[in-house]
Amino acid sequence: MDVDEEENMSSSSTDVKENRNLDNVSCKDGMGVGDQLPNGSGHGSRKRPLEEGNNGHTHSKFRAKKRKKTPGPVLPKNALMQLNEIKPGLQYKLLSQTGPVHAPVFVMTVEVNGQMFEGMGPTKKKAKLNAAEKALRSFVQFPNASEAHLAMGRTLTVNTDFTSDQADFPDMLFNGFETPAAPEESFYVGSNGTNSLGEYPLPTPPGSNLVQAPLPPSTAFSSPSTGKNPVMILNELRPGLKYDFVSESGESHAKNFVMSVTVDSQTFEGSGRNKKLAKARAAQAALSALFNMQLDQTPSRQPIPREGLQLHLPQVLADAVSRLVVDKFSELTDNFTSPHARRKVLAGVVMTTGTDVKEAQVICVSTGTKCINGEYMSDRGLALNDCHAEIIARRSLIRYLYTQLEFFLSNIKEDHHKSIFVPCDKGGYRLKDNVQFHLYISTSPCGDARIFSPHEAGVEDQGDRHPNRKARGQLRTKIESGEGTIPVRSSNTIQTWDGVLQGERLLTMSCSDKIARWNVVGIQGSLMSYFTEPIYFSSIILGSLYHADHLSRAMYQRIADIEDLPQQFTLNRPLLSGISNAEARQPGKAPNFSVNWTVGDQALEVINATTGKDDMGRPSRLCKHALYSRWVRLHTKLSSILRIKVPKPSSYHEAKQAAMEYHSAKKALIKAFHKAGLGAWVKKPIEQDQFTLSS
């Protein structure tokens, strides 16, 4: 079988597997203990007399006495085991055998990163051990394997080139151990004099006068001893600390506890699915801030910082955004007791307006995992085509942006200041300084981000080991009325209105692909481009299945070579992060409804994902028709300061097409996907956009 065939097989086998039950079940034969024993007795069955070796006697004296195992000390791993953890699959070769028969001397060699290491010993095993020790000493300045892993996490970059053929650790990784980089200096902002959860280490924005807190020098603490959890380490440094229970929240299958600890007059909080984990995370936060110690350095679980100004510490921001969205959903569903609390995926957008996450505001929340059935498509813009949670969250955010622009319709100047927008000198509006939007999704978005991330990243997970496979980065489409995605066809797929109505499957681009598009053209859409500059997400935070390599590739890395973007458009690289307390997998069948709420709404709106309308057949407040009617009102009243000066369009389609720069950016995106060999973007039938408000 040649490489191409193998690639095609591996790609097809991953076509529709994102939403299957992919629990990390250990692979066992299914043969129980009872099947293996000669007398058929298993753990769950009644004791039976021994039939072999005791002449049929049933008296207890003929039974072998069970010895209780006494727990002994955990034996340290030898150099061979440690090296195998760091570099699995090494080949040891016998170089020579000398000496007399009764006292032989063996020389074994092993090649690590292109360098040969020799070991001698009276047996091959001891010679191998000697070679492994030399190899370890050459690049690891730590007494055990776990600390070597720790250092690896600190030096391994997650911004890998996904077309590279390199699957193992680069040579520079090990050289980096010998001269550890000094930790970055941190700055602290305090609003009330104490470094509580609301105040975080921050880079210094230009022109600001933040006070630099003294940091302890980097010591051996940055490589903690094996086997000690953060609570134990912190207790050795500051004995007698008291941990306080702060709160309990979350759905029954995904409880979240918050614990706090006060160290050196500073309070640190940690959250987890149980109190023990929450205590450990609080201790870790204290160790990180006060002693510059990082215990979890698995590369694939590390946040990828955003380019440019960082207003928040990544992990603290991610955990805060996640908690805000889940708490808001809890509030809207009567503490998850409402029938509409049932969901597979939850998404939401949080807005921050400064450096304090405590002032963050939840803008919208949504759920859903299904798309419209083709026969229910609307040619008047009255049905929602895609009810996946993150897509609905973005439509809800657009609705919020229209509300903010409508403040400028008022004749009272004070109302204008309530908006998150400010007028631009050259026409149109832009967001106020420091206004940022953060997208939270409870699991990785369907398509390229999720297809290769079916499980949580483990400690041994050092990133994508096969970044150059053909299936990586491919454009994918959702399945009509179902879950999962399939790769796009190699040739351009043209969907027709009559074809879909006659039963041809309606294809919708995956969420991974749509979010990648938002990272180029912005989240505001073509119509709002008349009023505002492009708006981008500052961060994308996942509640589960976060893998740094896969998510960064899906969100922007695969189109890194995009060219000819119009002025003001860019390839946005938002902060990417998982959360400390990964959400449990949602078992069971996905509900057929999607809910949405935007700030200012009284209650959730419930939409039937199959029809794209509510159960009474009424259109959603997020449908194209509803948003277009708000756009027409704004376009009429604010025509004098628009960014795009064209005569009033006669239809929804005409209004979208007049946003020339937006469509140039979109063409550059489609060209970048095509140039990278990742497939052709599939468009919906044009007829669904050719409506007017009077139609």
Tell me which residues are annotated as active site: 390
- The residue type found at 494 is I
DSSP 8-state secondary structure symbol assigned to residue 658: T
Length of the chain: 695
Q: Say if residue 453 is exposed, middle or buried (CB neighbours under 10 Å; 0-12, 13-18, 19+).
A: buried
Residue that the structure tokens 């795009």 belong to: 644
Residue 390 CB neighbour total at 10 angstroms: 27
Q: ∠ CA(288), CA(292), CA(297), 5° rounding? A: 70
| Residue 640 structure tokens | 């004098």
Q: Which runs of consecutive H residues, i.e. helices, occur in 309-388?
A: 314-332
What does the H/E/C string look like for 576-620? Answer: EECCCCCCCCCCCCCCCEEEEEECCCCCCEEEECCCCECCCCCCC
Residue with tokens 């001269």: 179
Phi/psi of residue 311, each to 5°? -90, -20
The closest alpha carbon to 380, from 692, 617, 607, belongs to: 692
What are 622's two structure tokens?
């997020």
Amino acid identity at 154: R
Lookup result for tokens 């949504």 = 366
Q: Residue 164: CB partners within 8 Å, gap ≥ 6? A: 467, 468
Task: Output the CA angle 370-475-583, nearest 5 degrees.
Answer: 50
User: Which among 417, 469, 471, 475 has a CA at the least distance from the CA of 446?
Assistant: 475
Residue with tokens 């631009």: 424
